[in-house]
Structure 1
Amino acid sequence: MTCQRLKTLKLKAARRQDWCCYYCRMPMWDDDLDQFVIRYRLTRRLAQTLKCTAEHLTAQCEGGKDRADNIVAACLICNRRRHQTMKPKSPSDYQRHVQGRVRKGKWHPQGRIKAVFNAGGEWQENRP
């Protein structure tokens, strides 16, 4: 699989997910960091952790393929943290784990993300 094909699959997944991370549901960016920083009033450093990545639901080392049904869009921090352990959680278990931590304010550095969440816990961008 070419890098271009994987990028195409990532972008299709990001659009399907309304540019929100599959795991934490935070907004993500791909090409324009500066615009993302302005839109969400984040530091560049924090915004970099929300870069869109291609996440294999079944890891390549476990036989996962570069196919649309195996690729979702995940922010850099969720993608990296899922694969830090020797035996990563299943995608659905990891998603529940991450979303539970997000609700408690213990996933992303919530104190530095100047964002508002609606009653359902979904991300809303800052309003001036």
Structure 2
Amino acid sequence: MQKAAEVNLAWALIEVVKPRLSLHERDFVFVTIGAGDTFAAIRQLLGLVVAKGIPLRPQFVHLCATWLDAYVGHDQERCLSRAIEGLLTPSSIRAATLTRTSSRLTARHGRPSAVDRRLGPASAPS
């Protein structure tokens, strides 16, 4: 991936996740890109996407995987690869699966499961 394409990916990721970032998180990413360290910015953004369960369109996930191809052998490659692979199963799908599973457990045992207690009453996948 060319440097210009890497910068474009960083800015595109920011636009997607910006509404879910704190002021500190946004400032950090903006300053990091402004300083020219797009690798660190994208790494930070991917970490935030995973940590906050922010869904990305498949095209973005593909762009992130293509971007990572340029960093084969980098000490962060394995961690970033797992993060990108995790994006292939959106959190909404994981949450829906947990909700269905916990509902079956509740019906079977007549009391809320641990998942139900964590999700709270009438939780909907985000």
Same-fold status (TM-score > 0.5): no
Instruction: Report which of the two has the higher share of strand.
Output: 1
Q: Which has the higher contact order (CA 8 A, sep 6+)?
A: 1
Larger radius of gyration between Structure 1 and Structure 2: 2
Q: TM-score, normalised by structure 1?
A: 0.29
Instruction: Report which of the two has the higher share of helix.
Output: 2
Q: TM-score, normalised by structure 2?
A: 0.29
